[in-house]
Amino acid sequence: MQRTAPDPRPDPPVGLPVLPDLAAHLSAAADRTEPEPPGGAAPLRSAACGYWARRGLATDPGQVLAAPGLAALLLALYAAADGGVVLPRPCSEAYAPPARLLGRQVHLAPVPAESGGVPDPFALLETVRRARMHGDAPRVLVLSIADDPTGTCPAPEQLHEVCEAAAGEGMWVLSDESRRDLLHDPHDTVLLSPAEILPDEVVVLTDLGATLAPASWPAALARFPATDRGAVLRAAALDALTALRTPLPGPVGCVVTHALGEPDAVRARTAAAARVYCVLAAALHHIVTEAGAVCRPPRSGSHLYADLEPLRRPLAARGIVESTALERKLAPWAALGGHRFGDDPGALRVRLGAEALLGAERELRQRALDAPDPLDLPHITEALTALSRALAALTASAAG
């Protein structure tokens, strides 16, 4: 039987320049030969406690695990929970593969119209019911309160309903809060952690490569409930991390420990990144909606999720009838089709990101960070203008 070749993922944008403060700490630790122990050393876990305490979550080092990236952490958590996984649809690319590697069933529950990151509570209950009818036992629900791919933040009442529904079904809630510090308008967006709603049922996840450290230095954290049940889950996840034998590199552990203390340079970089992403994501939102797409306004992070279904007729005339084709047409702007996020491959949905506008050269990316208004930079305005023209051409020329 002939296998279908996997759909190659385009290279991601290079991201923001490495913060000199972090580069200096990595260089200073470069001669450290020993890795971090499985789950992270005491100094790193203590620094994580301070990080969460500043966000309203009192934490003990015994509640924390560190891992070399979100994928390894999810793999350990899914193995520890030992059951099926329910994900919002669409959701981050990172969520499903570790479950499938373990042979766990992945169930997708659609998000409501208001925001991504959490499933509709009634859809969640129906998804769990159907899974059980077919012999599976969902044990885990993954949420994203500052969502990739949609760039939205669910309202507190949405979170309450979903968390209560999951708890009623005996499920663990894994709350991905990696992008919570990249809110575009912190005074206008109420961000609530599910751990504040159901502290005994929620494991908080943070991919440090999303905010505090470069994505090429993989490190992620988990905060477990301070209960006997939470301790059992943490011990099982630690066993899984130990079995993986892929520890966090020692030099990266040193840098992460420093970054979690959030010195002035790190805080300033996070604020600058949030400001730049806010401006660029808003510009992308204006362009795609002006072209006729439907798109939730982005509230956090660097991404937004555009639905081009209203443009299906002219796009179909150009041979664009599924998300893979749409992704190829918008490749210069690092577009990723909705099929990569668990969405219907036949739907004309695509994720766009601000990183694609920053430029490939370090100097250009640094100028975007330093500029009072990134939209005044020629390379950014050119990229936005080119996207607007490309979207117009995909519809107008086809209609003609």
Which residues are CB-contacts of 143 (< 8 A; sequence separation ≥ 6)?
A: 88, 117, 118, 154, 159, 162, 163, 173, 174, 175, 176, 194
Q: What angle do CA 189, 192, 194 make, to 5 degrees?
A: 150
- Position 139 scores a pLDDT of 97
Q: What percent of the chain is modeled with pLDDT above 90?
A: 93
Query: Which of helix, strand or coil describes residue 139?
Result: strand
Which tens digits make up the pLDDT trace of 23-80? 999 999 999 999 999 999 999 999 999 999 999 999 999 999 999 999 999 999 999 9
Give whole-number Cα distances, 313 to 65, 149, 170, 290, 316, in Å. Answer: 50, 25, 45, 17, 5
Which tens digits make up the pLDDT trace of 157-209? 999 999 999 999 999 999 999 999 999 998 888 899 999 999 999 999 999 99
Residue type, 168: G
Q: Taking residues 291-299, report their average pLDDT.
A: 97
